[in-house]
Amino acid sequence: MTRPSKEPMTEPSMKRLTGKTILVTAAGQGIGRAIAERLAAEGADLIATDLRHGLLDGLPGRLEALDVTDGAAIRTLIGGLDALQGLVNCAGMVPHGDILACDEPEWRRAFTLNVDAAYHTTRAAVPLLLAQGGSVVNIASVVSSVKGAPNRFAYGATKAALIGMTKAVAADYVTRGVRANAICPGTVDSPSWRGRVDEQSQARGVAREVVEAEFVARQPMGRVGTPGEVAALAAYLLSDESAFTTGQVHVIDGGWSN
């Protein structure tokens, strides 16, 4: 598999997020962790949440165990904040299979985690964002309304819904100081992706290197992305540098959807 020899040079050169309180869900690993680390490095007052509190070890700021499928817990956490200028909805799951492989329980689980969770967090956060101004960043996917992919039926449907939610929030509050944007990554080297590679390897009885190579083969750049590359884009969208940007779908997929 071809991977970058090292993380691309995306280290922050300034403290663009100083004075901003930003909450990140699913901040324990992968893209969520990279975003949390980047925001803290840029000066944000970080509130990092994850279902498993132990995954948050080592992050700066306020660390909270949070089940994003629990609307009451979300309202309690966000309702108790004095300040909030940013929200990153990163929690999600990647169901595998076509429509015939997707039974109703899995369909409901996918929407509960990939869509309902963002609804609950955003609804709880909007009053604070309206009072103080701020930005919502939803981690969607290029596999959504942007592009279809084999065996990603439920996943693509949920991420398309998340894009629709993003655009609706942006339209409703465009004149009131609240922005919303979606980031749509392609394949990113993360614990979630590595787990899917292992699952497919075992299910098909082939070496994991074969599955990895198949993922890379569909990438025009000849590699998968890194969490840090996604984090750099999230930091920009949460900063005042992107003040004229809202309701947009930001594709970061190495040219896969071209």
Task: Kindly list the catalytic residues.
Answer: 155
- Which residues, other chains included, contact 199 with Cβ-Cβ below 8 Å and sequence gap of 6+? 96
Rounded to whole angstroms, how far apart are CA atoms 124 and 23? Answer: 12
Cα of first residue to Cα of last residue in the chain, in angstroms, is 22
- Which residues, other chains included, contact 221 with Cβ-Cβ below 8 Å and sequence gap of 6+? 254, 255
Nearest to 125 by CA among 165, 175, 89, 162: 89
Q: Helix, strand or coil for residue 138?
A: strand
- Which residues, other chains included, contact 52 with Cβ-Cβ below 8 Å and sequence gap of 6+? 28, 65
